[in-house]
Structure 1
Amino acid sequence: MVSTSLALGLTVAVLVGFTVVGLWFSRGGVDSAEDLITARNSAGQGRLTATLVASVMGVWILLSAPEAGALYGIGAVIGYGIAEAVPMLAYSSLGPRIRKMIPNGHTLTEYAYVRYGPAMYAFVIAVSVLYMFVFLAAELTGISLALDYLAGIPQWQTAVLVGLFVLAYTGYGGLTASIVTDTVQTLVILPLLVGSVAFAIVSLGGTASVYQGIQATNASLLDPGFVPGIRFGIALVFAVLGAELINQTWWQRIYAGDGAAAVRRSFRTATVANGFILLLATLLGLVAVGAAPVVTEFGSQNYNAGIAFFVLLEEAVGGPVVIGVVVLALALVMSTTDTLFNALSSLVTADLPRLLADPDDRTLRVGARLFTIAVAIAAIAVSLRARSVLRLFFVADLLGAAVAFPLIYGLYDESLTGPRALLSSVSGLAVGSAFFPFPFGLHGLIDKWLGGLLPTPDATYLVPFAGAFLVSTVASILLAWHSDHDFDLSSLSEEITRLEDPSTATDGGAPRESTDGKQEEWSR
């Protein structure tokens, strides 16, 4: 435990430091709504890789990942590592295709509107915004719980401080500010994370002592054949893949890269880096079970698996390391929170022209910033009541698992229609929801309304996540096969245009020939 005043002062200092970096390096670089939300072609491979890594590494990796390790053991450790690697690998191929098919795009929702029509568009925007909102709330919940536990800082103070400072630089500098701060945050996060894990293990007497502690407390967590752990690990792959495929964060960065090759290489590098980081973070929960008083019984008044890493720190190490972890946690939460603010802002900015009659550039920027502020306030309110970051994430992941494949499939198949994509998504969501162990007693309440028709929820989450993803996938493919619809995929590049000049069209980085034979120039 560190003193409240020291931790609060350190919190403010870290927040101010990153805010100054974001404001300074984005000054003069955001002259339009287009600049605010895309930073198009501005990031080389190094910076793009850094922001792909930092955008994943929210404070949740110190909370939900160790929580998963503490509950489900080695299966969760391996599962989380694979789960975070697979989406990055998918985007290494998907990213260049998005740039090619929609060279002047901004968001996944504008693609959904043009490709599938208003009904599927409304569903996708609702799911995407809700997912990112829950993600944001989970991040603020995580940092609030961590600093309350480590230093006694009231949760509302942490949530408000983080929200205000991150809003300050993202509201001004947009995606440019986020990418710059992500680069710095990655340089801070990686050594602190590896150092914290190494120091904790050394303090506990080394790997042999750690293994013996886990063996004595709950040997099943170390068993590769532990069925709940295997089921949970597989469930994570479906959950995270589905969620990341509807995450606007990655669509923004696809366009921020300075070329298709940089996008491809950066996502491949992030595949390895993000997989390793999550494997390491989940392992912390397993270590904590054998070395600290971690309570893993759901419903118990003393349940603390959600902060297993911090319980471990208090048990194993002293003040200086805890201070380093406070800095680590703040860098983590800022790296993801600014990403989410920008992603939400980009959705609103790109979609406002559909709601307003010819809005000017200033209206787009103001609207995006006001919406982001409103979402931040709501997320802070939710964070003050939530207790488990892992379960918050899973509610959002269920939505992604149901809609991801139908949404992405339309980039490759011309036969799938909007109504059929929507039907596929809703079918997957219905199946997943039926088996999902909703928090706060909602599953029991819904079952009561339905007269006891719901099946028993799956505590390992495999059936709900795999069911949602696979049902929507199979339904999409079958419905496309039996469709005589023939959507012209080339129309995506014609109908989705830049905000500042709808007549401009490029191929995602290189100039192309205009209709009169003259070459159009890149307009940044």
Structure 2
Amino acid sequence: MVSETVVLSLTVVTLAAFTVSGLWYSSSRIGSVEDFISARNSAGRGMTTATLISSVMGVWILLTPAEAGAAFGGIAAVAGYAVGESLPMLVYMKLGPRIRALIPEGHSLTEYVLARYGPAMYVFVLVVSLFYMFIFLSAELTGITSALQLIAGVPRWQTATLIGGFVLVYTGYGGLRASIFTDTLQTLLILPLLVVSAVGAIFALGGTATIHRQVVTADPTLLDPTFFTGLRFGFWVAIAILGAELINQSWWQRIYAARDQETLRHGFRTAALANFLLVFLAGLFGVIARGYVDIVTDPASEAYNASIAFFVLLNEAFPEWLVLVVVLLALLLVMSTADTLFNAMASIVTTDLPRLLNDPSDRTLTLSARALTVVGALAAIYVSVRARSVLRLFLLADLLGAAVMVPVLSGLYSEQVSGAGVLSSSIVGLAVGLVYLPNQTVRSALTALPGVGSALPTPDFLYAFVGAAVVSTALTLITARLSDAAFDLDRLSREIHRLDEPAADDGEEGWE
């Protein structure tokens, strides 16, 4: 086991270096709340591409793809996971320019939902989006705290507090601009470190031939790209990831931060390819771990946790220098996502404060954004100390996204969809997904309802996610066809404006 002192020292030095960098870069660039939460038109091709890659590449790439490879179907499951992570970027490559064209001075998903669908759907999407991002943040901290506890015995609360505290300092001060700058630096380090980790792992384990023989001996299906269980997992997880990312405020922020439309398209296109390759490479660590570490395949063990499959292998078979390289990589990964999510959660609420505070000053909005960042960070630290499986932590939040993605985004293209129609479609789709979701807490709650318990079907992730997406999509199409609504899409640009400009008052016409 690597020394706890060495790992903690590396953690503090890394966190301090990026905190200083973020504070330095943003010190003269935050003049208003607009700068803090949108950094509008400020990022060129390089920074846009880097922040998109880095914001996606959280520590989960060493955890959940590895868990998928170790416990959900080997290389076939990993490939599906990689496809799922690239799909949202391809969708945003088309969706981003549409959003900028219709809402040139926008900031958030929720302000679009309010203007397009009205208060009921707004509240629903606000809860869903914040819940997803909070779970994402908690899962990131859960993963890194579990990993450092395993390989160096670092108490989970110490890791969570250090990372949350340092990242909070530079994001609370510099907002999105600090996040994009540090993302760029982190990307420049993450990519080579991931390659070094992969190459180092191959040599530490005796070469590719030895690894192949070991994995095949453990379970030949792990390397079968046609393994049905893995393909099945890959299919539903791709839907789950797509739905979740389409309600992730982080991407709406970066749509506006990009310098122009072509920069935006280039960034998302490059990120799609990079995401696929990086997730696939990271997922192979889990497949390899199954060939070497018995504990990963023993669910009866108290220490069983497939989400840290790679770190179990790391702890048992790798030299200390490689362990420290991976620790540094993991720290950079978790920072790159944590700062993104801190900003996103704060911005999605801050953009709506003017409706509640009666024309607040720019200073009030900026202080509110920073206060909300602190609250989100503290809550995520608390949850991460108690959570266990990173992949399972995502699934409930992913289901919410799968149920609302098509209803919410259809309003960017169709004038016929209405607030009542998309809300009912989302709720019914979510209900279908919950009925099938293999989640003990959810099923216990449903079983307690009179007349529901005996009617519950066999839980199945495939039916849960596909059901939620298909049902909500079908109902959106049906309600739009039956609706006599005719929303003027040009209203979005008139109602949604910069936070340093007075609000337009067009009433509530067109919500329904």
TM-score bucket (shorter structure): over 0.9
Runs of 4+ aligned structure 1 residues displaced above 4 Å come to: 297-300
Percentage of identical aligned residues: 57
Change (3 A) 1:79 1:156: same
CA distance in 1, matches of 2:434, 2:428: 10
Change (3 A) 1:323 1:371: same
User: What is the Cα-based RMSD across aligned positions, in Å?
Assistant: 1.3
| Aligned residue runs from structure 1 range 53-72, under 5 A | 53-71=53-71, 72=73
Q: CA deviation at 1:7?
A: 0.7
Conservation of the 8 A alpha-carbon contact between 2:42 and 2:259: yes
CA distance in 1, matches of 2:76, 2:467: 20
Q: CA deviation at 1:205?
A: 2.0
CA distance in 2, matches of 1:61, 1:354: 38
Note the alpha carbon deviations across 1:352-377, whole angstroms, 9 max, x for none.
Answer: 11211111111111112112211211
CA distance in 2, matches of 1:489, 1:373: 36
Q: Does the residue aligned with 2:388 lie in a helix, a strand or coil?
A: coil
| Aligned residue runs from structure 1 range 125-524, under 5 A | 125-298=126-299, 300-439=301-440, 441-449=441-449, 450-458=452-460, 461-502=461-502
What is the one-letter code of the residue matched to 1:316?
Answer: A
What is the one-letter code of the residue matched to 1:356?
Answer: L
Conservation of the 8 A alpha-carbon contact between 1:102 and 1:493: yes
Q: CA deviation at 1:101?
A: 0.4
Q: CA deviation at 1:46?
A: 0.7
Q: Does the residue aligned with 1:480 lie in a helix, a strand or coil?
A: helix
CA distance in 2, matches of 1:196, 1:50: 20
User: What residue in structure 2 maps to residue 13 of structure 1?
Assistant: 13
Conservation of the 8 A alpha-carbon contact between 2:204 and 2:319: no
What is the one-letter code of the residue matched to 1:262?
Answer: T
Conservation of the 8 A alpha-carbon contact between 1:288 and 1:294: no
Change (3 A) 1:311 1:74: same
User: What residue in structure 2 maps to residue 514 of structure 1?
Assistant: none
Note the alpha carbon deviations across 1:322-380, whole angstroms, 9 max, x for none.
Answer: 11111111100000000000101111210111211111111111112112211211111
CA distance in 1, matches of 2:442, 2:112: 33
Q: CA deviation at 1:31?
A: 1.1
CA distance in 2, matches of 1:301, 1:48: 43
Conservation of the 8 A alpha-carbon contact between 1:204 and 1:291: no
Q: For structure 1, which runs of at least 5 residues remain unmatched after alignment?
A: 505-524
Conservation of the 8 A alpha-carbon contact between 2:434 and 2:442: no
What is the one-letter code of the residue matched to 1:33?
Answer: V
Q: CA deviation at 1:268?
A: 0.4
User: What residue in structure 2 maps to residue 513 of structure 1?
Assistant: none
Moved more, 30-39 or 314-323: 314-323
Note the alpha carbon deviations across 1:216-256, whole angstroms, 9 max, x for none.
Answer: 11112222332221110001110010001000000000000
Note the alpha carbon deviations across 1:395-441, whole angstroms, 9 max, x for none.
Answer: 211111111111111100110000110111111111111111115x4
CA distance in 2, matches of 1:258, 1:170: 21
What is the one-letter code of the residue matched to 1:58?
Answer: G
Moved more, 339-348 or 448-457: 448-457
CA distance in 1, matches of 2:442, 2:462: 19
What is the one-letter code of the residue matched to 1:379?
Answer: A
| Aligned residue runs from structure 1 range 2-41, under 5 A | 2-41=2-41
CA distance in 1, matches of 2:294, 2:503: 63
Q: Does the residue aligned with 1:295 lie in a helix, a strand or coil?
A: helix
Q: For structure 2, which runs of at least 5 residues remain unmatched after alignment?
A: 505-512
Aligned length: 501
Note the alpha carbon deviations across 1:135-193, whole angstroms, 9 max, x for none.
Answer: 01001101110111111110001101111111100011000000000000001111111
What is the one-letter code of the residue matched to 2:182?
Answer: T
TM-score (norm 1): 0.94
Q: Does the residue aligned with 2:453 lie in a helix, a strand or coil?
A: coil
CA distance in 2, matches of 1:302, 1:148: 12
Conservation of the 8 A alpha-carbon contact between 1:254 and 1:263: yes
Moved more, 146-155 or 213-222: 213-222
CA distance in 1, matches of 2:229, 2:355: 47
TM-score (norm 2): 0.96
CA distance in 2, matches of 1:154, 1:315: 19
Note the alpha carbon deviations across 1:371-395, whole angstroms, 9 max, x for none.
Answer: 2211211111111111100000112
Conservation of the 8 A alpha-carbon contact between 1:293 and 1:311: no
CA distance in 2, matches of 1:298, 1:113: 46
Q: CA deviation at 1:475?
A: 1.2
CA distance in 2, matches of 1:347, 1:491: 20
Q: CA deviation at 1:448?
A: 4.0
Q: CA deviation at 1:316?
A: 2.5
